[in-house]
Structure formats: C-alpha cells, structure tokens
Amino acid sequence: NEIYTQGIHGRTPRVPTDHAELERQARRAMSKRAWAYIAGGAGEGTTMSANRAALDRWAIVPRVLRDVSSRSLEIELFGRTLPAPVLFSPVGAGALAAHEADVHIGHAAAELGVPYIFSNQGSAPMERVAAEMDRVASGAPRWFQLYWSTDDDLVDSLLARAEKMGADAVAVTLDTTMLGWRPQDLNLGSLPFARGEGIDQYTSDPRFTEIVAERVRSAAAERPEITLGAIKTLFSIARNAPGKMLDNLRAPEPRAAVQTFLDIYSRPSLNWDDVAGLRDRTSLPIVLKGVLHPDDARQAVDVGVDGIIVSNHGGRQVDGAIGSIDALDAIAPAVDGRIKVLVDSGIHTGADVFKALALGADAACIGRPHMYGLALAGADGARDVVANIIAELDLTLGLSGHTSVGDVNRDAVQRVS
C-alpha cells in the first residue's frame, strides 16, 4: 500500500522493486571484490540457473470470487508467531558490502519482525547484532547459524553464546564442510576471509582466543615476533574497528588469527552421529541447512531435529546441483509435515515465496536480495527489499484466491514444463 501511495505522489521507492534492476544497481554500488563474492556462484553458475529454472517450471493457477478482503501472512515457527513466512538467510563476510553489515541487517529484520539468521561468519559479534535488534524491538526473532568447527569446545562456546543472546533456533549448515569452487573469487585472487572479513564471531569468542593463544605459544618458541600481546591487540582492533584489520594484515599476528580461523572453521568429517549428538549440547530447536535429498530429509526426521532448510547455498557450493525448488518438491512429501521445512536459493520475489509454500515449504529464506538492498541503502535498503517481497506475497496470496498462508497448497500451482 505504502509503495503504491508513494507512486501516486510521484516518489520513487528507495530500492528497485524488481530483482533485475536491484541486482544491476547493487553491482554498481559494490566493489569488484564484493560483487564477485556476494553475487558469485560455484563453477559455471549452473546451480544458480537451476534454482530459477525450477521456479519457472511451476505456474500459479489463481482462483476467483473467494472474498480475499482480509488476509494474514502469519505463521507459527518454533513457538513464535511470525508476521510472514520469510526469514533473512545467514550471509557471511558481509563487511565486503558494508561496515558491520550484520548490525544493519539485524536492525532491518527487527523492524520487520521476521527472523534474522546470524551467520557464523558474520561481520560483527552476535551479541552486538542482538543488542541492536533489541534496541529496535525487544526480543525480535533471531537464529544462529553454525559451521561445525573441528574444535568441539568452540562449537559449545558458540552454542552457549547463541543461547545467551536469545536465539530461537540453531541452523547447522551442512553443505559447506569445504568452500565450493568459486571462479569469480579465484580469478580475482580474492579469498574474502583472508583480509579478516567474516571472522568477528570467532575473534569475539573466548575459546577461539584460547586456541590462537595456544598456537601462538608454540609458534613463539620458533618465531619470537609472534607474541600473545600482539594477538590480543589484534583482537581488540577486530572488535572495535574490523576495517583496521586490513591495515594490519601484513603483520604476522593477524595472519595467525585468520589462518587459525581457516584451519578450524569447518569439519569435513561431519556425519549423522555428530548431528544426533547435538541434542545433548543445546536446548535450542535444531534446523539442518543444506538438505537436498529426500533420504537425508527422512534421516533428519529420524535423528530428531526440528526442521530442515532445503538449500543449495544459493548455488555457491556444488555446480550442476538440483534446483532447490525441485528438491523441495521431492522432500516435502518425504517429510510429510513431521518437521518444519524451509527453503532458500534463488527466491527473489513474493511469487517465488508463494510457489515454495504451495510446494510444501513452511517458510522461505532470502539471501542475496537483502545484501543488495544493504549495499544500496544500508539498513533501510535491506528492510525495504524484504518488505517488498512480503508485500508482493500478500498480493499474490489474495489475487490467487487465498486468505492465509495455511490455505496455500499444491492445488495453487501447476507444473508447466
């Protein structure tokens, strides 16, 4: 309504209301390096195309004359009522797009009242993001996304911090036990984390600090220039002014922190036993992110997690992978409502979210689009992009003859190719 009203007064919206133009403008606003990392995908980009192609295979078949004058987008998720079936996907190394990106995105999500899933590779400590969200709306919904470190104590430390900062759930990302083949970054010789972006969740962690200190102690025996004092200085720089990390990277100490992060952030040996054991380590609802096979979805139900996110990581991990909406189509019947099913990857519009709901998703997460909004207009831009998606979802719901999210089922769509 607001957007149309603005139009009546001849005012243009803060961010473009279609994805193609949003993408074009965001590209102009970002550095080459930021664009490569954020917009890029794995390999030849086939999975990113598959995400869109899968959505295009389904057509909405509207129904008429159904009194859609009052509508609700509300859903229940892990004991909370949310205003819309939409979440902000976790995005790491956001500092490439904006200083303390996560604080701005947290602000945006809190204004909308939809959950923000904090990345384990966030560009601000989770406590800072949570405090900002509470400033906007006390108790605003937030989740924590975990990359399972090779260090179990670090996993426990991150989980304890997540519980303390008020997370409603933990999403364990399973598809990134190693970083995918990302030509855009490789061709630029640019590994984002190498300059310290996205390691603030770590540098603010007491266990991580301990690990680095242990390493420094043993390295210092051979290399006296690496001192514990220098590492501590680095951490305080990282906490107070992450940008300054860049200036200091030539020093051996920052390299020690970044190298430690690269060495321990993820565990390629991760398996179902680890996930089954997670129940004993946290009281939070557990959601597995990156599920694409119906058998994995069934196993997720069997090990007793609370939900899954059907996702191919926005096409950034396996090139040539199945589109997430195609995967959802097979997974939803396999799960059969026993746990929550969320989906992301390639979902750009309200109509896309509607199709996801029709194919059995309880909610959809939005990744790159909110980052583009952030790059264009800070917190307001990130908020407006997601607000626009929700507004279009509301219209699509009504115009297709539905009054609530729960009414939307497979009858609302038809496979057209």
Interface residue with ligand FNR among 47, 121, 149, 282 (CB under 6 A) is: 121
- Closer Cβ to ligand FNR, 121 or 184, answer by number: 121
Cα(303)–Cα(309) distance, rounded to whole angstroms? Answer: 15
- When the beta carbons of 226 and 328 are compared against ligand FNR, the nearer one is 328
Kindly state the tokens that stand for 102: 């996560």
Q: Does residue 184 bind ligand FNR (CB under 6 A)?
A: no
The distance of closest approach from Cβ of residue 257 to ligand FNR in the complex, given in angstroms and rounded to an integer, is 18
CB neighbour list of residue 279: distance below 8 Å, 6 or more residues apart: 286, 304
Known catalytic residues are 313
**Burial class, 206, CB count within 10 angstroms (exposed 0-12 / middle 13-18 / buried 19+):** exposed
Q: Give, as one character, the DSSP assignment of residue 30.
A: S
Distance CA 309, CA 290 (A): 6
Sole binder of ligand FNR in the list 307, 350, 367, 381 (CB under 6 A): 367
The reply on whether position 142 binds ligand FNR by CB under 6 A is no
Return d(Cα 416, Cα 409) in angstroms, integer: 17
Tell the smallest beta-carbon distance from residue 44 to ligand FNR (Å).
16
Report in angstroms how near the CB of residue 372 gets to ligand FNR at its nearest: 10
41 binds ligand FNR (CB under 6 A): no
CB atoms within 10 A of CB 138: 9
- What single letter denotes the amino acid at residue 370? H
- Cβ–Cβ under 8 Å, residues 316 and 41: yes
Closest to 409 measured CA to CA, from 351, 345, 364, 362: 362
Is residue 37 close enough to count as binding ligand FNR by CB under 6 A?
A: yes
Q: If binding is defined by CB under 6 A, does position 149 make contact with ligand FNR?
A: no
Q: Is 103 an interacting residue with respect to ligand FNR (CB under 6 A)?
A: no
Looking at residue 410, the DSSP 8-state letter turns out to be G
Pick one of 25, 145, 201, 282: the residue that binds ligand FNR (CB under 6 A): 145
Q: Which stretch binds ligand FNR (CB under 6 A): 13-21, 116-124, 254-262, 277-285?
A: 116-124
Distance CA 89, CA 365 (A): 5
Residue 143 lies near ligand FNR (rule: CB under 6 A): no
Identity of residue 5:
T
* Contact between 323 and ligand FNR per CB under 6 A: no
Residue 370 near residue 108 (C-beta atoms within 8 A): yes
Q: What share of residues in the chain are helix, strand, coil (percent, to 5)?
A: 55, 10, 35
Q: What angle do CA 146, 144, 140 make, to 5 degrees?
A: 175
Stretch that binds ligand FNR, among 277-285, 344-352, 380-388, 395-403 (CB under 6 A): 344-352
Residue among 121 and 388 whose Cβ is closer to ligand FNR: 121
Among 347, 353, 357, 391, binds ligand FNR (CB under 6 A): 347
**Should residue 98 be labelled a site residue for ligand FNR when binding is judged by CB under 6 A?**
no
Q: Residue from 17, 25, 123, 173 that binds ligand FNR (CB under 6 A)?
A: 173
Question: Can you name the residues that pair with 144 across neighbouring β-strands?
Answer: 118, 170
Q: What value, to the nearest 5°, has the Cα angle with vertex 352 and ends 346 and 353?
A: 105
- 351 belongs to the binding site for ligand FNR (CB under 6 A): no
Assess 396 for contact with ligand FNR (CB under 6 A).
Answer: no
**Which H or E element spans position 241?**
none
Q: Per CB under 6 A, does 325 bind ligand FNR? A: no
State in angstroms the smallest separation of the CB of 34 from ligand FNR.
9
Q: Is 346 in the site for ligand FNR (CB under 6 A)?
A: yes
Q: Report the C-alpha gap between 331 and 268 in whole angstroms.
A: 24
**Least Cβ distance, residue 281 to ligand FNR (angstroms):** 19
Give the footprint of ligand FNR on residues 260-319 (CB under 6 A). Answer: 289, 311, 313-314, 316
Q: To the nearest whole angstrom, how small is the minimum distance from the Cβ of residue 162 to ligand FNR?
A: 14
Using the minimum distance from each CB to ligand FNR, give the nearer residue, 226 or 379.
Answer: 379
Which residues contribute to the site for ligand FNR (CB under 6 A)? 37-38, 89-92, 119-121, 145, 173, 289, 311, 313-314, 316, 344-347, 366-368
